Amino acid sequence: MSDWWSGYPSPPLVYRPMHEWQQLAMSGQLGPDDQLYDHVRGVWQRAADHPALQPYFPAPQVNWPAVLGLGALAMIALAAARSSTNDGLRALGWDGLKREIFRRDSYTCVYCGHRGNVLTLHVDHLTPRSRGGSDDPENLATACWFCNLEKGTRTGWEYRWWRLFSGR
């Protein structure tokens, strides 16, 4: 046989009606990686990828800690903790909210890393109110007066990219 045929089933297995493929899959004689020819679409595909055979090959269980790694799980845990903290912040007035945003961000500008106090820092909208941003704690961040002034009506993402490419 030539190399182009390697990996495909022998010709007697190729041309079978779908109900026979399903019986082979139920009996365990057809594996999920076995190749079959779908004559309707005119393509070769793995048995587990064929829609009519998917119920016979359940998706493997994913080990999420191994896939994502500890760093991603830590990020998910921090995001969950932060969102639960932000739920309580919504009930505060603006002064209390501002103080809690500073505390959440460790009195550090999220754009340049400048550490300051309530006199030198501002609360910045990541998505400006002029562009549909809200006063939700998820949309607020600590910024030094210079970054807040320079950012203007850019989003936080746009401002970071602008700083990166403008050399600031």
Residue 62 within a domain: no
Residue 138 within a domain: yes
| pLDDT at residue number 141 | 93
Residue 135 within a domain: yes
If asked whether residues 97 and 37 sit together in one domain, one would say no
| Tens of pLDDT, residues 16-34 | 777 787 888 888 888 888 8
Question: Residue 120: what residue type?
Answer: T
| Tens of pLDDT, residues 97-153 | 888 899 999 999 999 999 999 888 999 999 998 888 888 888 999 999 999 999 988
Kindly report the number of other CB atoms within 10 A of residue 123's CB atom. Answer: 19
Confidence at 1, pLDDT banded by 50, 70, 90? very low
Q: H-helix or E-strand containing 143?
A: strand 140-144
User: Which residue is associated with the tokens 């057809």?
Assistant: 30
| Tens of pLDDT, residues 67-97 | 767 777 777 787 777 666 555 555 567 778 8
Interacting residues of 78 by C-beta distance below 8 A, sequence separation 6+: none
- Residue in 90, 158, 93, 149 with CA at minimum distance from that of residue 121: 149
| pLDDT at residue number 160 | 87
Q: Is the pTM of this model over 0.95?
A: no
If asked whether residues 110 and 46 sit together in one domain, one would say no
If asked whether residues 100 and 34 sit together in one domain, one would say no
If asked whether residues 97 and 34 sit together in one domain, one would say no
Residue 15 within a domain: yes
If asked whether residues 162 and 107 sit together in one domain, one would say yes
If asked whether residues 161 and 104 sit together in one domain, one would say yes
If asked whether residues 48 and 95 sit together in one domain, one would say no
If asked whether residues 52 and 100 sit together in one domain, one would say no
Q: Can you give the residue range of the structural domain that contains 42?
A: 7-56
Overall domain count for the chain? 2
Residue 86 within a domain: no
Q: CATH number of the domain that 124 lies in? A: 1.10.30.50
